[in-house]
Chains A and B, each alone.
Chain A
Amino acid sequence: MDKQVKVLVSTRKGGFILSSDEMRKKWQIKGPLFSGLEVTHMKGSAVNPDRIYAAQMSKWFGQLVYRSDDGGENWVTVGNHFPFRGVPRLHKDFGGKQTPWKFRKIWVFEPSLVDAETVYAGVEDAALFKSTDGGITWEELESLRSIRGDLWMPESNGLGLHTILTDSKNPDKIIVGISAAGAFRTLDGGLSWKPINYGLRAVNEMPDSQSEVGFCVHKIARHLSNPEVLFMQKHWDVMRSDNGGDLWYKISGNLPSDFGFPIAIHAHEAMTIYVIPMQSDLEHFPPDGKLRVYRSQSGGNQWEELSSGLPQENCYVNVLRGALAVDNFPSCGIYFGTTGGQVYVSSDSGDNWQSIVEYLPGVLSIEVQTFL
């Protein structure tokens, strides 16, 4: 197979697959897949890249899970039953009252890095499910919700588990991120969990800013070559941990705003990270109406503005937490999608950008598959 990249784009009205070669100049657009209803996430397996999972949700017909085993050409529905396990539990609602857990939708898939049949799903209300049969049946790793789940509270889009980081060298080690609960880590495959939120602050959002849980973590990124170093975009603050989440410290540095949603790491440089700042938690649009990516090549604090090829006036789109990703070509490609339906690519690590498509439905998430 020629070198190729596939960008899996999930939008409010269906999924799209954008394909190109290593040059990343000419693109083929496939879709819409599952058109008409919201596709929250699509992701391919690293073990078997032809296997792709897609989550579609609607108020009318509920959660559907699709699986393709031929790279997105054909799709079948697989299991869409996500039963909570263990004792019934309560979490906080928006008003702070206790309310029962309820399955609402899938936010994210994370196919195992070592087994093609194993895949994790992060759902709302926040919980982690695991399938070992390619998505046909799902089983909750329920002890996660025992970690002060009574204090977890939804953010404006719901109480969602949005980040799942697995480790190819140690499959029993999993880190998850939940809004608004925080980050959690298991070292035994999900039998027991530890909150890893020490050092996070939420002075303006939480009465007890020293709380063990309750933080509005927007996204966590980790480079597989350096698994103890984690980077986090929080509701406010860009954070870093050098010990697997045991202690976090702020690396916002000279960013124009440290509010934002996604964070990503360069494919080949474990200390090169990317964020896309938004003005504030009220104004989910770029500062000054200029769409800019910020890159730090020092693991934080020193940030450079990347704007070549991006709109620099009258731009008021948002970039959601799952809508920033990278490819693995030697010249690392960076991709992001906007709520305005644009998908941008940089084939030179962020120095220069071009749009791939400009008029898709609002982009919810992006994943990238590189075929070297």
Chain B
Amino acid sequence: MMIRIHLPAYIQRLAGIEHEVQLDMSDKFSLQDLFDWLENNYPMLKGTIRENGTAELRPYLRLFLGDEDLSDFPLKEVLPVKLIADGKPLRIVAAISGG
């Protein structure tokens, strides 16, 4: 199953990625699997999306798949097929913060 991940602009620049990445996953996978793939293929991203040590999502980042807010979805839980079947990208969104 082909999965697209849309990354914040700064992360794109840091990793040398244009807009989004695509990866081929098995039928069952979790957000943790996606982040592991990202960090294995782009080691400079370690600590930028997930906290070093705790491996939790950083507090100023949110996750969306289509209209679904997955920010609080358990990272280790397998993503429901209905969420990922229509090919919409997983969006990692940096909070609007500051002025």
Residue positions of A touching B, CB distance < 8 A: 36-37, 58-64, 76-77, 80-83, 103
Chain A proximity mask over B33-68: 1 for CB below 8 Å, otherwise 0:
000000000011011110111000011110000000
Q: Are B52 and A61 in contact (CB under 8 A)?
A: no
CB distance from A183 to the nearest CB of B (A): 29
Please give me the residue from chain A that is nearest to B9 by CB atom: A36
Q: Please name all residues of chain B whose beta carbon is closer than 8 Å to the beta carbon of A80 when the two chains form the complex.
A: 46-47, 52
Q: How far is the CB of A34 from chain B (nearest CB, A)?
A: 9
What is the interface of chain A mostly: helix, strand, loop, or mixed? loop
Asked if B60 and A59 sit within 8 Å, CB to CB, the answer is yes
In addition to A58-B10, A63-B47, 12 A-B residue pairs with Cβ atoms within 8 Å of each other are: A59-B59, A60-B8, A61-B8, A61-B14, A61-B58, A77-B14, A77-B44, A81-B46, A81-B52, A81-B53, A82-B52, A83-B52
Of all A-B residue pairs in the complex, the 7 with the closest CB atoms, nearest first, are A61-B48, A81-B52, A77-B44, A60-B60, A60-B94, A80-B47, A59-B60
> Which B residues are closer than 8 A to A by beta carbons?
8, 10-11, 14, 43-44, 46-49, 51-53, 58-61, 94-95, 97
B-side binding surface: helix, strand, loop or mixed? loop
Contacts A60-B10, A60-B60: A81 and B95 contacting too (C-beta < 8 A)?
A: no
Contact B58 A62 (CB under 8 A): yes
Residues of B within 8 A of A82 (CB): 52
Return chain B residues, CB-CB under 8 Å to A59.
Answer: 59-60, 97
Q: How far is the CA of A61 from the CA of B58 in the complex (A)?
A: 7
**Residues A60 and B52 in contact, CB atoms below 8 Å apart:** no
**A84: nearest residue on chain B (CB-CB)?**
B53
Closest to B52 in A: A81
Residue contacts A-B, CB under 8 angstroms, 10 given: A37-B10, A60-B8, A61-B8, A61-B48, A61-B49, A62-B47, A62-B58, A80-B46, A81-B46, A82-B52
Which residues does chain A contribute within 8 Å of B44, judged by CB atoms? Answer: 64, 76-77
Q: How far does the alpha carbon of A63 sit from the alpha carbon of B46 in the complex, in Å?
A: 10
Report Cα–Cα, A155/B5, bound state, in Å. 40
Is B97 touching A61 in the complex (CB atoms < 8 A)? no
Q: How far is the CB of A60 from chain B (nearest CB, A)?
A: 4
A103 to B11 CA separation, bound complex (whole angstroms): 21
